[in-house]
Structure 1
Amino acid sequence: MNFDYDSEQNDLREAVRGLLARAYPDSEQRRAVVSADPGFDEKTWSRLAEMGLLGLPFPEDDGGMGAGPVEVAIVAEEIGRVLAPEPFIEAVVLAGGLVAAAGSAAQRGEVLGALAEGGLVPAFAHAEPRTRWSTTAQGVTATQDGGSWTLTGVKEPVPNGARADVLVVSAVLDGGGTGLFLVPGDAEGLARTGYRNHDGTRSAHVGFENTPAEPLGDGGDQTASIERALAEARIAYAHEALGAMDSALRITAEYLKTRKQFGVTLNKFQALTFRASDMYVSLELARSIALWASMVQEAGGDVVQAADRARLQVSRAGRHIGEEAIQLHGGIGMTAEYSVGHYTSRLTAIDHLLGDGDWALARLAATVNSYETVDPLGAPYA
């Protein structure tokens, strides 16, 4: 299996890396951006649109670039490398992905076209209080009266929900199942309260009170579309985590080469070097399975199981690398002014978005009995 990027993919990576390096040259710039609402730089968002990145995975007929999961993964990794707070995965992969998968031709043209141009930021409102990483809606209900629909209930947390121009909302249908609906940001009966997360990103408490909504697509059960979109977002988050882990390891290795203790640099202590080496092993294991998951997605395979496998490995690697980065920096690693703590905070947030590693492990364990038993003693010799 070839994990190497081709020339066009390498050019994409270098272009995105250059743009984000100029936007976020250091952690101070990132902290300044996330300190004020909406929690990301609108100018950088526009530049991403100018490069065609906000329409990257969508068909050209819908105003997109027609690229695949590997190209999306490249962008996500570069975002993670500098902890860029722009909601690429939330808006493009998740909310945009749902519109692309379930929306009508008119809805796709309107929403995805505006998203690709940078004029619209969508958000997926799915999580609900007292629920945990469910594929279906439970607390928000959709009611049909003639040809119109209204929504009632609460969604929280909704990533970038306060800034979003349009919400893609999951809701319980009258006849059962979970439907998807489009709700404009200025809709009547819509109440949004935004707040800052520990990693500097934004979420919101979103309330619906007989809020007018437009069914996405045919108005039927969209549970399968939701499950696939969530899986694709988990794979993209895995690549964002790779970028963050790669930077955390690089910063830590440079620190060990320059910080002196007892008259020598820290990399002269074999125990510390071994710990840094273990961080590298965790990173490369996570990289291989995340790339494999993207290739499974591109080939049309079982993207849900691939996403769960990637989530489990990336969860373990993220915790390991984040904790070791702080430990190997000593006291300075705990300060808000130093970057490794911010990388660890973002890795922790990614781990709890859409299902953590333990959740993925439980889902994988539940399917173990579906595989055939292999008797190693009965296997023929080569």
Structure 2
Amino acid sequence: MLRGPTGTWRTETSSGEAVRAFIPAPLPPVPPLQLDDMLQSNVDDALLALGRLDSVALLLPDTRLFLYTYVRKEAVLSSQIEGTQSSLSDLLTFEADESPGVPLDDVTEVSNYVAALEWGMAEIRRGFPISGRLLRGIHGRLLSSGRGADKLPGDFRHSQNWIGGTRPGNAAFVPPPPAEVAPCISALERFIHDDPVRTSPVLKAALAHVQFETIHPFLDGNGRVGRLLITILLCAEGVLKDPMLYLSLYFKEHRAEYYAHLTAVRETGDWEAWIGFFANGVRETAGAALHTAQRLVGQFARDREQVLAVGRTANSLLRVFDALRERPIATASTLAERSAVTLPTVNRMLAQLQALGIVAELTGKKRDRLFSYAEYVRILSEGTSPL
């Protein structure tokens, strides 16, 4: 449905030139959303897919094993959209306190994303509501170091930003003037908390994401915070117990369509087309995450059978193997600490795991070696090649 612009254009002066900034109208859309049978079915299917994904805990022996690496996969993908070149292996290697082999700012940026998500989820679980304060806290951790550390981490912007172009005057899109940021975020906060109307979780996440991206309240990091908002909102709404849904791969693979929908919403009010795109992304992404979890369960079971078949060293070997499931890229000393097995024994067990084809050594060195649970990392790394 084409409603016309979903906000107002205001001419402002920025750096001595006239600029047309866009101020979005508060949600929900006016006139109200028109969901035909097909679109409503897409939204319903997305919700069902989220329910199946939420039941992944029944499938995995320990959901934390999946979440640890899957959260990091999302961090890599979301940061890649913003231009970083880090891979999942780079991040896991960095966290193992080894040289990441990529520009330090890239891998630091990805690591900060993990910290921001974990902090945000901890706040939601202790009952803190989604709010401007929560978003600022997430942003502060996201930009705490590396690139963007000088872009007001944890604070809304005090100057005009823009998207595309070299300055506001030739930009593809200019978000609200800085004085309008706080009121726009307050209105978004009210909508998220069902004022003035109750909105179902999938629709709420879809609408809130576009609104946040349109407000663009920070000098840097808006895309990453906006993508985090989707998952945190679905968890806050009780649709997901854990942050298992990440749309960055879907947005990465459909970048042109994604940006076209954001523009269409602002200029023509076509919320329905965006909702269809978003619902398809939720359904596809949730299904892919569930499939990945199933593949990992099968891989763990096959590798565990190999470990148990080795005979008298199986107990120590199993403990090292289990430690690798928790940290799929690690040093021998880290694995010794996590498995409560002596370092010499760990080194012997790693040699056996290499002989079984389960573990790969990454450095080619004789000292300070780094080991990878190769197939686990390969499965999780699918789709994470830099743009």
Q: Same fold (TM over 0.5)?
A: no
* Structure with higher strand content: 1
Bigger Rg, structure 1 or 2:
2
TM-score range with shorter-chain normalisation? under 0.3
Decide which structure has greater helix share: 2
